[in-house]
Amino acid sequence: MSKENYIFETKNLSKFFRDPVDFQALKNVDISIKRGEFVSIIGSSGSGKSTLLYVLSTLDTDYEGQIFLDGEDLSKKTKNQLAEIRNAKIGFVFQFHYLLPEFTVLENVMLPALKLAKYPEPEIKKRAMEKLEMLGLADQADKRANKLSGGQQQRVAIVRALINDPDIIFGDEPTGNLDSKNAQNVFDTFKELKEKFGQTILVVTHDMALAAQTDRSIRLHDGEVVK
């Protein structure tokens, strides 16, 4: 099993909460995700699926075991290195959109790219517009982020996750705040990204109907992967 086939891999991943009582939230989780796969993590509430996602996404560094992104061992990186990796290689879509309310849609999308500073600003702007166009949001570009509807905001959040062409997008209940129509719309967007652009996506969801539309579901129960 060569690492090249897997964009994302964990080995013996465990996580303990010590406060208020000792509790093992994740037990020796081994998962591997191929490039271009659209995978969902499912499980009842308290099964550890969100905890797993935070560990995988490098926001939570208090774990045991190893995480590999594109062959790189993330467990040995410093906080600043992880921030750089998140910036360049990971996209996030959370349950809440987390758009900066004072900025326009376009500025929100551009921020991670401005931080990365791989391209000059006009180029970043062009790329952001292309991606907004792709998701049918180009006409909203100059609106302030808090003027959009919930479904639109969540799709802007997806564009923001895409702006630096990440290796993987993590979704934490990305449809949790949306009605079923908008939820399906957002999910369709994910599917389109996967099918058209081969984008690797990992989402946590408790909506079984949506999970059924992904390539593969990983079920978590009491912090363990159920085969």
Chain residues binding another protein by CB under 8 A are: 50, 54, 57, 59-60, 79-80, 83-88, 90, 92, 94-96, 98-100, 102-103, 107, 111-112, 114-117, 120-121, 160, 172
Tell me whether residue 83 or residue 138 sits nearer to another protein (CB atom).
83
* Minimal distance, residue 226 CB to another protein, in Å: 23
Check: CB of residue 154 under 8 Å from CB of residue 97. Answer: yes
CA distance 215 to 191: 10
Tell me whether residue 118 or residue 216 sits nearer to another protein (CB atom).
118
Could you give the dihedral angle defined by the CA atoms of residues 217, 37, 130 and 210, in that order, rounded to the nearest 10 degrees?
-20
Other Cβ atoms within 10 Å of 69 Cβ, number = 23
Enumerate the β-bridge partners of residue 66: 11
* Minimal distance, residue 194 CB to another protein, in Å: 21
* Minimal distance, residue 5 CB to another protein, in Å: 26
* Minimal distance, residue 96 CB to another protein, in Å: 4
Other Cβ atoms within 10 Å of 160 Cβ, number = 27
* Minimal distance, residue 144 CB to another protein, in Å: 10
* Minimal distance, residue 68 CB to another protein, in Å: 19
Tell me whether residue 83 or residue 129 sits nearer to another protein (CB atom).
83
Counted residue by residue, the chain has a size of: 227
Amino acid at residue number 81: Q
Tell me whether residue 59 or residue 138 sits nearer to another protein (CB atom).
59
Peptide bond before residue 20 is cis, with ω within 30 degrees of 0: yes
For the chain, the 3-state helix, strand and coil shares in percent, each to the nearest 5, are: 40, 25, 35
Write the CB contacts of 201 (distance below 8 Å, at least 6 apart in sequence).
Answer: 37, 38, 39, 168, 169, 171, 190, 193, 194
* Minimal distance, residue 48 CB to another protein, in Å: 13
Other Cβ atoms within 10 Å of 168 Cβ, number = 22
Tell me whether residue 111 or residue 129 sits nearer to another protein (CB atom).
111
Tell me whether residue 5 or residue 146 sits nearer to another protein (CB atom).
146
Tell me whether residue 11 or residue 144 sits nearer to another protein (CB atom).
144
**Eight-class DSSP state of 119:** S
